[in-house]
Amino acid sequence: MAESTIQHQPLAGWDKPNLDLSDAEWQSSSRGLGDVQIAFVEGFIAMRNSGRPESPSLIFTPAEWGAFVSGAREGEFDLT
């Protein structure tokens, strides 16, 4: 597979560091189901697609993560 030539630039107002995730300890759900993994790195929460670990990860602050988890528990992201 050819390497991507796309340059990833931070978004305007981006206030999160460029975290080194190479040694992150990725965790799957307690049941091992799904494609999402998370890692706790330098006070942030990283989330990635386990099927494509080379893809960019989403980075959350603790407050953003709390809001995301609360929304997921309340069905905010249900598509059905």
pLDDT in tens, 30-70: 666 668 999 999 999 999 998 888 888 999 999 999 999 99
Round to whole Å and give the CA distance between 66 and 80.
Answer: 23
Range in 3-7, 10-14, 32-36 the model is least confident about: 3-7
**pLDDT at residue 41 in the model:** 94
Round to whole Å and give the CA distance between 80 and 60.
Answer: 26
Is the pTM higher than 0.85? no
Strand partners, 27: 38
**pLDDT at residue 5 in the model:** 46
Both structure tokens of 27 = 């965790």
**Is the pLDDT assigned to residue 2 strictly greater than 90?**
no
**pLDDT at residue 16 in the model:** 72
Round to whole Å and give the CA distance between 9 and 46.
Answer: 18
Cα 79 to chain centroid distance, Å, stands at 20
Both structure tokens of 14 = 């981006």
